[in-house]
Amino acid sequence: MEPGSLEWLLVPLQQLVSWGAAGAMVFGGVVPYIPQYRDIRRTQNAEGFSTYVCLVLLVANILRILFWFGRRFESPLLWQSIIMIITMLLMLKLCTEIRVSNELNVKRRSFAAADSKDEEIKAPPKTSYLDFDLNYFWHWSKFTDYVQCVLTFTGVTGYITYLWLDSFLFVETLGFLAVFTEAMLGVPQLYRNYRNRSTEGMSIKMVLMWTSGDTFKTVYFILNQAPFQFSICGLLQVFVDIAILLQVYLYSHYPQKPVSHTAHPASTKAL
């Protein structure tokens, strides 16, 4: 076979592989949440999923999008953040609706103005604009409150980014905070497993899915010369996944002394 004909075959193949890798990068991150979403919808039970996962991923991906304005990295990474934000908002909407429908206490908790139509309180609406209580942060009664919180965070950080966009140090720090926040997503799960001396509710297959996905993502960062923050924090995320994988193996094969704790299914990287 002549070199010219071989090149004619390799170029489209390389392009196809490149498109496939970009597609996997854009949509791969949300794939584990699809069965999670369907399971919650089917069982009408969201106890096994922590909405703080949504908080962390929303913050991380909003910061990543803002980082893009200061340092134009690859468009698949930008689209990955957009798709992840949409996915987390859908997860929040479903979990909030199910949690509120299952709660016996109907007292409303909100991020924004108090609801004057609250049938339980029967009191005049509060004069303050925010019905904000740290004890109930990210545990509000309406999906719109989460949207308002996300928009407020986006507006404030977006304005700060606009003011400091010409600062190299600020832009690089913003990029580091974006990917570092996401990289730390598995640390609370790691700590919970260590504290309980148990990985009950987790499976080797599930953690292997995390590890393989984060490994692919990190290799993609390195091969495509993404900003160094992506590669460093990607490696950190892989190390955390491997540590959780070792916990699953050790605690399943060498059970520790039982520690009294409240059972909480760990069906995803949870906070």
From CA 14, how far away is CA 222, in angstroms rounded? 18
Looking at the domain assignment, is residue 119 inside a domain? Answer: no
Question: Dihedral angle at the C-alpha atoms of 83, 89, 90, 93, nearest 10 degrees?
Answer: 180
Q: Specify the number of domains making up the chain.
A: 1
CA 92, 94, 95, 96 dihedral sign is positive
Looking at the domain assignment, is residue 65 inside a domain? Answer: yes
Looking at the domain assignment, is residue 110 inside a domain? Answer: no
User: pLDDT 10s per residue in the chain (271 long)?
Assistant: 555 556 666 667 667 777 777 787 888 888 878 888 888 899 888 877 788 889 999 999 999 999 999 988 888 889 999 999 999 999 999 999 998 887 765 566 666 655 444 444 444 444 344 455 667 788 888 899 999 999 999 999 999 999 999 999 999 999 999 989 988 888 888 888 888 888 776 667 777 887 888 888 888 888 888 888 888 888 998 999 899 889 888 888 777 655 444 444 444 554 4
Residue 256 C-alpha from the chain's centroid: 30
Looking at the domain assignment, is residue 117 inside a domain? Answer: no
Backbone angles phi, psi at 132, to 5 degrees: -100, 125
Looking at the domain assignment, is residue 162 inside a domain? Answer: yes
Looking at the domain assignment, is residue 232 inside a domain? Answer: yes
Containing domain of residue 55, as a range? 14-105+136-253
Looking at the domain assignment, is residue 207 inside a domain? Answer: yes
Tokens of 139: 């545990």
